[in-house]
């Protein structure tokens, strides 16, 4: 990722005058998009072809079969991997200092160089990254819990259980 950012910033967009932040957004988007597209592809391919055939046999169109049957099942399998990729993206943002962007890690380096204290700025940075990654993990777990059919209560409409 460092090499990709440096090639984008110094070689491809070097003479364009584009802000470093936008180069970082482009670089991370390319990298994240490549990984997420592979996650989506593998999740969709993991669903048995009989699911699609059954939906088509019931009279659903290709789009309806995909969005009502294939994708919801694939999403349950994709979200844990997607969560890991999102956390990886968050951790990768710590390297944007190589292309002259002042991020959390760069600010920690600046504080270390001014105070000659290495421990506390690094620990504070690690704690902040941990908290953000933990929040992302909680959000994705919540979404997974909402869409996973194994965690939904089952019952017949109109019938109450006492």
Give the Cα-Cα-Cα angle 69, 70, 71 (nearest 5 degrees): 100
Q: What are phi and psi of 46, to 5 degrees?
A: -75, -15
The answer to whether the CB of 104 falls within 8 A of the CB of 128 is yes
Q: How far apart are CA 105 and CA 122, in angstroms?
A: 8
What is the mean pLDDT, run by run of 10 residues, along the chain of 162 residues? Answer: 90 88 93 94 93 93 93 90 91 83 82 88 91 93 83 66 61
Domains and CATH numbers, the chain: 2-149 (1.10.3720.10)
């Amino acid at each position: 990722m460092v090499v990709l950012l440096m090639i984008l910033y110094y070689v491809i967009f070097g003479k364009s005058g584009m802000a470093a932040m936008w180069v970082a957004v482009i670089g991370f988007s390319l990298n994240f998009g490549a990984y997420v597209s592979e996650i989506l592809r593998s999740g969709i391919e993991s669903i048995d072809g009989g699911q699609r055939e059954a939906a088509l046999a019931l009279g659903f169109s290709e789009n309806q079969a995909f969005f009502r049957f294939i994708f919801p099942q694939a999403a349950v399998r994709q979200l844990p991997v997607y969560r890991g990729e999102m956390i990886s993206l968050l951790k990768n943002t710590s390297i944007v200092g190589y292309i002259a962007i002042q991020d959390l890690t760069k600010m920690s380096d600046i504080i270390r160089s001014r105070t000659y204290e290495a421990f506390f700025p690094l620990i504070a940075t690690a704690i902040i990254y941990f908290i953000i990654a933990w929040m992302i993990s909680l959000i994705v777990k919540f979404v997974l819990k909402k869409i996973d059919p194994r965690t939904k209560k089952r019952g017949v409409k109109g019938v109450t259980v006492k």
